Structure 1
Amino acid sequence: MKEILEQSYGFIFEEELLEAILKVAQFKSFKADDYLIEIGDAIQSMPLLIEGAIKILREDENGDEFLLYFLERGDTCAMTMTCCMGNHKSKIRAIAETDGSMLMLPVEKMEEWLTKYRTWRNFVLESYNIRLNEMLEAIDTLAFKNLDERIFKYLSDKVKVLGTTEITNTHQEIASELHTSRVVVSRLLKGLELNGKIKLHRNKIEVLQY
């Protein structure tokens, strides 16, 4: 596990902190579509993503989901971190976008390491900053962009996270994550195809521009 940790975080954390993580971390692997955190869960540990991608979602009172952001290798979840240190229950849902693995760190180490390790404090602050900017971008997209622009941004983000231009999400899955209907998504995807931004195939969407 030490080699895995060093590959993902060796350039971020000092050696002493890496050793401290190794003493308390638990390795956890996951499969695509696994539910990793559910809304209302008591948070006992914080994840450090080693491999794969995870999508973070919110849910409204009707049970409809809205995509906030993706986590990639080297990331942690600021929302989870907030719950850890504030002893609150989870306000987000985390679902694996791909197969992957992560290290789970016990809650009681979060505040201790903030004062003990400079690199951990910098990592936490930078994680908050990145996630805040991504949530502000999500709000701006929802408030100011047309739905076709939101769909194209969603597809472009998927390309960057998954490392492939071929997206296998169904039209219904896209509609659910963007809080709209499948019929509307299908119509707007056809418009994006006519504009040369994507290519629609039977079971996938090929993103031509991103």
Structure 2
Amino acid sequence: MLPDDFKNKYEGIFEPELIAAIAAVAVEKQVKEGEILMDIGQPLLHIPLVLNGAIKILREDKEGEELLLYFIEHGDTCAMTLSCCMGQKKSEIRAVAETDARLLMLPVSQMEVWMAEYPSWRRFILDSYHSRMMELLDAVDTVAFMNMEERLLKYLQDKAMVTHDASVKTTHQQIANDMHTSRVVVSRMLKQLERAGKIQLGRNQVTVLSL
């Protein structure tokens, strides 16, 4: 039995036959904030479809330092996961629950079958690729063309939007990890943004004033 929030979003988009096919194999999963849903090098057996909450997608360099690529939210799936599973590769990303979240886990064995059989699934996957590609390009532009203060403000604004809360609950070290920089730099930039009236700092939280 598929959950109501899945039916409400997709019954008018997916063919009834596809809805039935998903119902036959999907497994609902709940994850807590901070939980690793998928890790680098892990064999890919399922792809996640987000029912609610938010998941952040990270890459890791050779030294083990992370860089945030993008967030996925309600109705999204991860294009990089899809790319890996189509090529029968291991995961090249780390997926971490940004908030408590509910997911439908779909077996990778069905991906190519559904792509061939159901036009609505094919459109959904292509639209997902396009959306994630635009977010990846945005991430590249952010690193290439924005200074650190601009990058930090955009990062906080993005987190506020995906969590639907202007008060971002995080630490300076967590921000530094996501942005691939040092805690000292983050702390200095946060103070500058607060002086500029764009954020308000609290204990383990940052309130974004300019969304």
RMSD (Å) for aligned C-alpha atoms? 1.0
- Measured in 1, the distance between the counterparts of 2:28 and 2:203 equals 38
- Measured in 2, the distance between the counterparts of 1:136 and 1:38 equals 22
- Measured in 1, the distance between the counterparts of 2:204 and 2:176 equals 16
Structure 2 counterpart of 1:36, which letter?
Answer: L
TM-score by length of 1: 0.97
Unmatched tracts of structure 2, length 5 or more? none
1:7 positional shift? 2.3
- Measured in 2, the distance between the counterparts of 1:78 and 1:202 equals 35
1:193 positional shift? 0.9
2:179 aligned with 1:194: no
Q: What SS class does the counterpart of residue 104 from structure 1 fall into? A: strand
2:124 aligned with 1:123: yes
Alignment correspondent of 2:158: 157
1:11 positional shift? 3.5
Alignment correspondent of 2:180: 179
Structure 2 counterpart of 1:191, which letter?
Answer: Q
Alignment correspondent of 2:44: 43
Alignment correspondent of 1:25: 26
Contact preservation (8 Å) 1:8, 1:73: no
Alignment correspondent of 1:143: 144
- Measured in 1, the distance between the counterparts of 2:32 and 2:181 equals 27
1:9 positional shift? 2.4
Alignment correspondent of 1:84: 85
- Per-residue CA deviation, residues 123-174 of structure 1 (Å, 9 max, x unaligned), is 0000000001101110110011000000000000011100000011101110
Identify the range of structure 1 (69-78 vs 198-207) with the bigger mean alpha-carbon deviation: 198-207
1:14 positional shift? 2.1
Unmatched tracts of structure 1, length 5 or more? none
Identify the range of structure 1 (69-78 vs 99-108) with the bigger mean alpha-carbon deviation: 99-108
TM-score by length of 2: 0.97
Structure 2 counterpart of 1:143, which letter?
Answer: A
1:84 positional shift? 1.1
Find runs of 4+ consecutive structure 1 residues off by over 3 angstroms: none
1:42-61 to 2 correspondences below 5 Å: 42-61=43-62
Q: What SS class does the counterpart of residue 90 from structure 1 fall into? A: coil
Contact preservation (8 Å) 1:5, 1:18: no
Alignment correspondent of 1:133: 134
The count of residues paired between Structure 1 and Structure 2 equals 210
Contact preservation (8 Å) 1:52, 1:98: yes
- Measured in 1, the distance between the counterparts of 2:13 and 2:157 equals 27
1:120 positional shift? 0.3
